[in-house]
Amino acid sequence: EDHFYPEIINPETGEVVAEGEQGELVFTSLTKEAFPIIRYRTRDLTRLLAGTARSMRRMEKVTGRSDDMIILRGVNVFPTQIEEVLMACPGLAPHFQIELSCPGRMDQMQVMTEASDTAMGPEDRANAGRELAAAIKQSIGISVKIDVKDVGGVARSEGKAVRIVDNRPKT
């Protein structure tokens, strides 16, 4: 805080949120003269914690990125939340891709992941998929379809992984 002024803003409106609310972290430099930074948007979602006996404020752990957020049936979902639940499911590899679609009136999410072992048969993969769907429903509160593919079945990309494929109609 002696060199930067942190703020938490609403990612959509740019307005400063109330103290302790989660939002996007924004910095303004206080001491840079040659190249000042004014309200630099980090796209990181976090919250500033109330002051303690320390002389500097603290920031909560970064929970996601505003540009990765998915709004599905009114629920904010981050790929990192899906990944966290997936990592806790035995028998599934940490590779995944989220596909969003809108076949009717409601948006749907399908998570494509893969088995961690080539010896997993179709029945084992189906059971692992049901367990993952239940864990996501319990943890995040949304119903998703799960497609457990063979080892190497989820597309890999060079560089940054493409985690979200949005097939919903653009309005």
Q: At what angle do helices 122-139 and 79-87 cross, to 10 degrees?
A: 130
Q: Where are the alpha helices (DSSP H) in the chain?
A: 79-87, 122-139
pTM of model > 0.85? no
Please report the pLDDT score of residue 55 as a whole number.
Answer: 67
Q: Are 7 and 16 in contact (CB under 8 A)?
A: yes
Please report the pLDDT score of residue 26 as a whole number.
Answer: 92
Q: What whole-number distance in Å separates Cα of residue 116 and Cα of residue 95?
A: 9
Q: In angstroms, how far is the first alpha carbon of the chain from the final one?
A: 41
pLDDT digits (tens, 9 = 90+) for 30-89: 888 888 888 888 888 888 887 666 667 778 888 777 767 787 888 888 888 888 899 888
